[in-house]
Chains A and B, each alone.
Chain A
Amino acid sequence: MTKFTQIQMDAQLEQILSRVLRTGVLLAAIVVSLGGVLYLLRYGMNTLNYSIFQSEPENLRTLSSITADTFSLQQRSLIQFGLLILLITPILRVAFSAYAFAKQRDRIYLIITSTVLAILLFSLFNPVA
């Protein structure tokens, strides 16, 4: 393709990526803030010691329980859900890139971004425990 078309496509792709990232972070921030406010309202006056490490309770660790608890508006689960949204944002960004490269018939970069996407999904659903 011509150099000019390449630049045009680059520009379009970059606009989309930009928007995906911003939306994801904004959404995550809103959910986390909401959870945060509820959390502080409920627990603000307690004390907590972060120098002692105890693993987080089960219900804050897995995808399914976080989602379930979120809809009952459990403060900490809500925050955790927001963090999940944040986590998904870069993954979405990569997915969009892959799609864009597929549309542009850019085989090399389609392979590259698909590889990254596969690695990311692997880490999300199959955490090396």
Chain B
Amino acid sequence: MNILEFTLLVFITSLLAGFLGSLIGLGGGTILVPTLTLLFHVDLRYAIGASLVSVIATSSTAASAYIKEGFTNTRTGMFLEVATTLGAIGGAALADRLSPSILAVIFGVLLLFSAYLSSHPSSKCQFNARPRLLATHLRLDNCYPTANGWQPYRVQNVLAGFGLMGIVGVCSSLLGISGSLKVLTMDQVMKLPFKVSTTTSNFMSGVTAAAGVGTYLSRGYVDPGLSMPVMLGVLAGSLLGVRVLVQIRSQQLRQVSSGVVVLLAVQMLYNGMLGRI
């Protein structure tokens, strides 16, 4: 196929990825990397480069809307960004040392692990939990809008969350994904309400990706011909997704999220092991 056809197909795919991604907090990268490598046979490094770019686009667009609606916990996000950006730089340094096949396998394993964890939530969000020292000191506790008005919540396990976010940052640069891992950490470890987790993850993802993109750009992993339809498609998709979020129930979102993640993870694992990536 020629460049025009390729560009259009990638655009449409990215549109779908952006839509789904902005709804379930995946930031598009989780969907884009497998799709680009498996469906379009794009080399993994180009795919990750384009996906990091798209993560910045999704994150910034969706975040701007979610902030206004009051879901995002900006202070928690900014605090955790210290960890994710440090991790992202570390990951970018590592990216050269690992072969695409190994990266694909790690990708698959991580996603399966996160899908497994999301389907076994440890305990429901505690609205009346006792305040934690670090959370209070950093003023992380907040409230979010629900059908019944503003619901307060408290943030738990701040240090553990911070440490895990460092690892998530590494994965972001290494694999082009980070959304689902962030959501997982905030949802399960830090006990934030699900919609706060997804929107705050969106908020942080752009900054995290930006920390890794600098290196990718200078190494020549970011191709304009590929990044262009990806970025524009994802943008359009996430703009649509943002309008729909408030109307969907968290429970449905969790289930769709898990399903999509498992599907893609298995694909990447399988193809990575066969060396097809």
Q: A residues touching B (Cβ–Cβ < 8 Å)? A: 6, 10, 13-15, 17-19, 21-22, 24-25, 28-29, 32-33, 35-36, 39-40, 43-48, 50-53, 55-57, 60-62, 75-77, 79-80, 83-84, 86-87, 89-91, 93-94, 97, 108-109, 112-113, 115-116, 119-120, 122-125, 127-129
| Contacts A89-B56, A112-B82, A116-B82; A46 near B2 (Cβ below 8 A) | yes
- The answer to whether the Cβ of B79 comes within 8 Å of any Cβ in the partner chain is yes
CA distance A29 to B234 in the complex (A): 11
List B contacts of A39 (CB < 8 A): 224-225, 228
Q: Is the interface of A mostly helix, strand, loop or mixed?
A: helix
Q: Is the CB of A18 within 8 A of B42?
A: no
Q: Is the CB of B64 within 8 A of A40?
A: no
The contact of A94 among B207, B225, B231, by CB within 8 Å, is B207
Q: Is the CB of B224 within 8 A of A80?
A: yes
Q: Which residues, 196 to 224 on B, are CB-close (under 8 Å) to A?
A: 206-207, 209-215, 217-224
List A contacts of B221 (CB < 8 A): 55-56
Q: Is the CB of A45 within 8 A of B218?
A: no
- The answer to whether the Cβ of B1 comes within 8 Å of any Cβ in the partner chain is yes
Q: Which residues, 1 to 31 on B, are CB-close (under 8 Å) to A?
A: 1-4, 6-7
List B contacts of A18 (CB < 8 A): 63-65, 67-68
List B contacts of A123 (CB < 8 A): 85, 88-89, 92, 210-212, 214-215
Q: Is the CB of B214 within 8 A of A124?
A: yes
Q: Is the CB of B4 within 8 A of A44?
A: yes
The contact of B222 among A35, A57, A83, A113, by CB within 8 Å, is A83
CA distance A46 to B225 in the complex (A): 12
Q: Is the CB of A116 within 8 A of B78?
A: yes
CA distance A53 to B218 in the complex (A): 15
Q: Is the CB of A128 within 8 A of B220?
A: no
- The answer to whether the Cβ of B113 comes within 8 Å of any Cβ in the partner chain is no
CA distance A95 to B89 in the complex (A): 19
| Contacts A60-B220, A123-B88; A32 near B231 (Cβ below 8 A) | yes
Q: How far is the CB of B271 from chain A (nearest CB, A)?
A: 13
Q: B residues touching A (Cβ–Cβ < 8 Å)? A: 1-4, 6-7, 40-43, 45-46, 53, 56-57, 59-61, 63-65, 67-68, 72, 74-75, 78-79, 81-82, 85-86, 88-89, 92-93, 137-139, 206-207, 209-215, 217-229, 231-232, 235
B86 to chain A: closest residue by CB: A119
CA distance A94 to B210 in the complex (A): 11
The contact of A44 among B3, B40, B93, B229, by CB within 8 Å, is B3
List B contacts of A25 (CB < 8 A): 57, 60-61, 64, 235
List A contacts of B81 (CB < 8 A): 94, 116
A37 to chain B: closest residue by CB: B228
Q: Is the CB of A109 within 8 A of B210?
A: no
List B contacts of A125 (CB < 8 A): 214
- Of A13, A25, A60, A129, the most chain B CB neighbours within 10 A belong to A25
Q: Is the CB of B56 within 8 A of A48?
A: no
List B contacts of A119 (CB < 8 A): 82, 85-86, 89, 211
A125 to chain B: closest residue by CB: B214
A86 to chain B: closest residue by CB: B56
List A contacts of B209 (CB < 8 A): 90
| The 3 A-B residue pairs with the shortest CB-CB distance in the complex, in nearest-first order | A55-B220, A56-B220, A79-B224
CA distance A14 to B65 in the complex (A): 10
Can you pick out 28 interface pairs between chain A and chain B where the beta carbons lie within 8 Å of each other?
Answer: A14-B74, A17-B74, A18-B68, A22-B60, A22-B61, A25-B64, A28-B231, A39-B228, A40-B7, A44-B4, A44-B7, A45-B3, A47-B3, A48-B225, A50-B42, A50-B46, A53-B46, A55-B220, A61-B219, A83-B222, A83-B231, A87-B53, A87-B213, A89-B206, A90-B209, A112-B79, A119-B211, A128-B215
